[in-house]
Amino acid sequence: MKEPLDSGACRKLIQEILASGEVSFSGHALDEMAKDNLTTFDCVNVLRGGVVEPGEFEKGSWRFRVRTSRMTIVVAFRSERRLVVVTAWREKK
């Protein structure tokens, strides 16, 4: 897998991983999700239907924001079969 992926390739890879790969959550993501009363189910739904933004290189890896009007999920790919949710938050109105 050659990063950074464009938004379309990122969306396709997320869908493939959701269908038959592994999604994990970092400790930081779980802490931030708890602060905003988000569940893993909420995050997976955002990954299924959210808008993928261009990647950003941070802390040694490419990270991709997947956003809806209500939530943002940041993911990093560990392989073509595995992604990790790095952080997540509920958008403030």
Residues 3-34 have pLDDT tens digits of: 889 999 999 999 999 999 999 999 999 999 99
Domains of the chain from N-terminus onward: 7-90 (3.30.2310.20)
Res. 93: pLDDT tops 80: no
Helix extents (H) in the chain: 7-20, 27-35, 40-49
Q: What is the pLDDT of residue 1?
A: 81
Threshold 0.75, pTM exceeds: yes
Residues 38-82 have pLDDT tens digits of: 999 999 999 999 999 999 999 899 999 999 999 999 999 999 999
Residues with Cβ < 8 Å from 36, sequence gap 6 or more?
88, 89, 90
Q: What is the pLDDT of residue 92?
A: 87
Written as one letter, the residue type at 36 is D
